[in-house]
Structure 1
C-alpha cells in the first residue's frame, strides 16, 4: 500500500460522496449542517483533501441512503492507511535499532516475544480483561515485560546516539493515543519498550540513562492510559507504578507529575477515590508552581474524583487550578497528545465533573464546548461526552432524547471502539433510563451491542 494508492482511494470516496449529495439536491452547507459538521469539512472531503472520521461517514451513509457504499469505502481506506503506517513504522524501527545499537544483530532469542516482523501477540491467558478478549490479546505478555522492565531500570550504565530519535518515537505514540485503536497502540508501545529495555540494560552513560529512564516512564504511563481505556484496571495500575519507579530514577519532576496524573486516572476508574485524590495532589505538589500538561490533567482528575463523592466546593476549586495551569501552557504542552493538555480535554473533564455533581446547566454548557473542540478522530472523549449528555437529558425528563443520543453514539462506533470504559458508561446510562425506554427494542439492541460483561465498582 503506497501513498498514491491511498490518495486515489480518498479522492474516489470524496467524489462518490459529492455524487450522492448532488443526487439528493443538497449543498455542501446543507450536508455539513445535517451531519453536525460544516461546509469546509464537506468540501475538503469531496476533493480528497481530508477523509474525516467514521462518525461523519456513518451519518452521511444514513442521510444519503448509500446502501453501505460510503462506510465500506471509508473502512477500506482506513485499513489501507493502517497497513501503510505499520509498514513505515516497522521500517523506521529497524533503522532506529541499527543506529542506536551500532548495527548489532539482535537475534530472535534475545526476547521470547520478539519476531522478525515486530511484536507478535500471544494467546489470551486465563484471567485477562474481558475487553482485552475482543482485541488481539497481549495483556499478559505486556505484564511480563513490565516486571522485566522493573528489574532492568536500576541496572545502570550506551552511548547517546539515537536518543533524539527515541524522543520523536515517544511523541508519536503520545499523539496516536487520541485516535489510534487500542490494539495497535498496545502492539507498538510494547514493541518499542522491548527495545528501550535493551538499551537501558547496556549500561549507557549517566546522562543517557536519565533520558532513557524518563522515556521508560513515559511509555509506562502510555500503557497505563491505554489499559485504562480497555478497562484492564489492574494492569493499568501496575504500569503506573512502574512509570513512577522509572520517573523517580530519571529525576524529572515534570515526567513524575505526568505519570502520577496517569496513576490518578487509573485509580479514578478503579473506584479507588482516595488514592486518586492522593496521586493527583502529589502530581501538583511535585511540580511546584510550574504549569505542565501533567499538573493540569492531575487537577482535572482531582475535580472529577471530588465530583464522584459530591464535594462541590472541592470540585470547583480543582477545576479552577486546572484552568490556571492550562492558561500558562504553550507550544507542545497544548498539543492533541497524551503528553499535552488542551481546552478540549479540560472541557471534557469539566463537563464530566458537573454531570457527576448533577449540575445539569453547567454540564450541558461544558458539553457543547467540549464537542465543539473535540478533534474528529478523538472517539473516546467524543463518545463519553455524548453519554454524559444522555445522562443529563435523563435527569431533565427527556428520556426519549437520551435514548436517541445513546443509540447514535454507540451506533457510530466500530465494535472495538465501543468496549472498555465506553461500554461501561453506556450500560450505566441505559440502567438509569425510565422503565419505558429501558425496555424498548432500541435499548435491547444496544445491550446486545455492548457485549462486555458488566463489572462492579467502576466509577464512570
Structure 2
C-alpha cells in the first residue's frame, strides 16, 4: 500500500459522500449545519483533502440514510491507513536494525555477561560507581534533573512490565481495575488543580489506548471504549476550566466518538453535557441549548447524571439570553431528574451530581436573570452544602454573590468577598474560568471600588492567572 493508492481511496470516499449528499438534495452548508461542522470541512472531505474523525461520518451516515455505505468506506480507509503505517514502521525498523541485530548479536546481548565492544572507561577521580552509574561529586549537574531521568527510566520499565503482563486477553478483573481508575479521576476533579489532573489523566489515557490497541474481545472492547469516552470527557472538563476552549472542543468530539462506539446512551448523555459547558463558557448559548437538549434526548429523557447536568446548563444558557420561563422550566426538569438519582450517581465526583451542584447552577441562572432574591437564597444553600475543597463551584458561587452584592448597593462588601475568594485559592486553582469571571465582577464595581488599592492588587493577581 503506497501513499498514492491511499490518497485515491481517500478521494473515492469523498466522492461517495458528495454523491449521497446530492442524492438527498442537500448543499454542503446543509450538511455542515446538521452535523455540527463547517462548510469548508465538508468541501475538503468531498475533494479528498481531509477525512476527519468517525463522529463526522456517523452523523453523515445518519443524516443521509446511506445504508452503511459511508461508515463502511470510512472504516476501509482507516484500515488501509493503519496497514500503510505498519508497513512503513516495519521498513524503518528493518533499515535501522536489520543489518545489525542478527541472531548471534541478539543471543550475545541476552547473556548476563554481555558488554558492548567499546571499553568501559575507568572511573575518574572523585567518582564512585553504583549500579553501573558514575556520580561525580564535583559535578555541577542538578540532582533534581538526575532524579527525573531515573524516574523516567523506571516508568519506562513499568510500562514494559504492564505490556508483558497484558499480552493475554484482558480479564474481568483487569477491566474492573480500569473502571476503578476512571472513578478515581472523576472524584479527583472536585478538588485537584487542573495541571495535576491533566498530567494524571493523560498518563492513564496513554495506557488505556495501549490496552485498546491489543485487540481485546468485543465485550471487553465495548467496556474499554466507554471508559475512553469518560476519560476523554474528563479532559474536556479540565480544559474547559482553564479556558482552553478549542482543545476542550476537540476532546469533546473524541469523547462523543467513543461514547457512540460504546453504544452507551448514559455515557453519551454525560459527554454531550460536558461539551455543552464548553460552548456555554464560549458564550455560544444557542449551541449550548442544542447540545444540552440533545443530551437529554439520547438518554430518553430518563434520569441520569448526564440529563440533570444537561438540564442545568441549559437553564444557565437560557438565562444568559433572558428567557425567563424557559429557564425555570429547565431548572424544573433538573430538579425532577435529580430526585430520581441514587447510589453512585449522587457521589462527589464528575460522574455524580448532587443538590450542591444543582444549587450552584440554579443560583447562576437566577443571577443572570437579575432575580436577586432567588439568586441569594440559592447561593446560601449552595455554599451550605458545598465546601472550599470543591473549589470551582464554590469560587464561582461566591463570585456570583459578589455580583449580587454590587447590584444591591453593597459594592464594598462585594470587593471584600471577591478579594477573599481569590485570595483563598492557590495560583493553580485561580486560573481559567475563575479568573475570567473574577475580572468581570471586578469590572462591574463602581469607580470608587475599582480604583482602590485592594482592587489594583487583585487585578494584578488575576492578570498573572489568565
Q: After TM superposition, is the score higher than 0.5?
A: yes
For residue 248 of structure 1, what is the aligned residue in structure 2?
260
User: What CA deviation, in whole Å up to 9, does each residue of 1:43-85 have, x standing for no partner?
Assistant: xxxxxxxxxxxxxxxxxxxxxxxxxxxxxxxxxxxxxxxxxxx
- Distance in 2, matches of 1:93 and 1:295, equals 41
Asked whether 1:233 is paired with 2:245, we answer yes
Secondary structure of the equivalent of 2:165?
Answer: coil
Residue 259 (structure 1) aligns with: 271
* Structure 1 residues 448 and 376, CA gap change in structure 2 (3 angstroms): closer
Distance in 2 (CA, whole Å) between partners of 1:212 and 1:264 is 24
Question: Deviation per CA, 1:206-247, whole angstroms, max 9, x where unpaired?
Answer: 101111110010000000000011110110011001100000
> What SS does the aligned partner of 1:450 have?
helix
Bigger relative contact order (CA 8 A; separation at least 6) = 1
For residues 371-390 of structure 1, the aligned pairs below 5 Å read 371-390=383-402
Distance 2:237 2:155 in 1: 24
**Higher radius of gyration, 1 or 2:** 2
Distance in 2, matches of 1:314 and 1:96, equals: 51
Distance in 2 (CA, whole Å) between partners of 1:383 and 1:262 is 19
Match of 1:103 among 165, 171, 179: 165
Answering whether residue 375 of structure 2 is matched by residue 313 of structure 1, we say no
Query: Cα distance, 1:375 vs. partner?
Result: 3.1
Per-residue deviation, 1:413: 1.0
Q: Count residues in correspondence.
A: 313
Partner of 2:191: 179
Counterparts of 1:446-457 in structure 2 under 5 Å?
446-452=458-464
Aligned residue for 2:212? 200
Which of 326, 341, 349 is equivalent to 1:329?
Answer: 341
TM-score normalized by structure 1?
0.65
Is residue 395 of structure 1 aligned with residue 407 of structure 2? yes
Extract structure 1 runs of 4+ deviating beyond 2 A.
91-99, 158-161
- Pick from 202, 209, 220 the counterpart of residue 232 of structure 2: 220
Q: Is the 8 A contact 2:338 2:355 kept in 1?
A: yes
- 1:261/1:298 contact within 8 Å kept: yes
DSSP 3-state at the match of 1:345:
helix
Distance in 2 separating the partners of 1:260 and 1:306: 17
Q: Is the 8 A contact 2:205 2:231 kept in 1?
A: yes
1:272: which partner in 2?
Answer: 284
**TM superposition shift of 1:415:** 1.3
Deviation at 1:452, TM superposition (A): 4.5
Say if 2:451 is the partner of 1:439. Answer: yes
The aligned counterpart of 1:413 is 425
Task: Find the aligned partners of 1:380 and 1:423 in 2 and give their Cα distance.
Answer: 11
The one of 300, 305, 311 aligned to 1:299: 311
Unaligned runs of 5+ in 2: 1-153
Partner of 1:287: 299
5+ long unaligned stretches in structure 1: 1-90, 106-157, 455-460
Cα distance, 1:289 vs structure 2: 3.4
Matches within 5 A, 1:124-163: 158-161=169-172, 162-163=174-175
Matches within 5 A, 1:35-184: 101-103=163-165, 158-161=169-172, 162-184=174-196
Distance 1:295 1:92, change over 3 A: farther
How far is the alpha carbon of 1:94 from its aligned partner?
Answer: 8.7
> Do the aligned partners of residues 258 and 445 (structure 1) sit closer, same or farther apart at CA in structure 2, a change above 3 Å counting?
same
Q: 1:188 aligns with which of 175, 181, 200?
A: 200
State the Cα distance separating 1:93 from its structure 2 match.
12
Cα pair distance change 1:260/1:375, threshold 3 Å: same
Counterparts in 2 of 1:421 and 1:94: CA distance versus 1, 3 Å: farther
Shift of the 160–427 alpha-carbon distance from structure 1 to 2, 3 Å rule, reads same
Cα distance change, pair 405–259 in 1 and its aligned pair in 2 (3 A): same
- 1:356/1:205 CA distance change after superposition, 3 Å: same
SS in 1 for 2:463: coil
> RMSD of the alignment, in Å?
2.2
Q: State whether residues 96 and 165 of structure 1, in contact with CA within 8 Å, keep that contact through their aligned partners in structure 2.
A: no
